[in-house]
Amino acid sequence: MQYKAFIGIGSNLGTPAENCEQAIHLLHIPPEIEVVARSSLYESEPVG
């Protein structure tokens, strides 16, 4: 059975871009998961 999921990844600690790239890389490890598309990385000011 196949499922489609949309996942939001974000980070505000350390090096956020590297953290997000690492998370995306880790999604490729299980053979059951196929990353078919991804958006660009966006940087914004923290709120709150």
**Residues spanned by the domain of 23:** 1-48
CB atoms within 10 A of CB 24: 14
17 vs 27: CA distance, rounded Å: 16
42 vs 17: CA distance, rounded Å: 9
41 vs 6: CA distance, rounded Å: 15
Structural domain total, the chain: 1
Note the pLDDT of residue 45. 86
6 vs 34: CA distance, rounded Å: 12
Condensed to tens digits (0 to 9), the pLDDT of residues 24-36 reads: 999 999 999 999 9
Q: Whole-model pTM?
A: 0.79
Condensed to tens digits (0 to 9), the pLDDT of residues 6-26 reads: 999 999 999 999 999 999 999
Q: Which one, of 9, 16, 8, lies nearest residue 45 by Cα?
A: 16
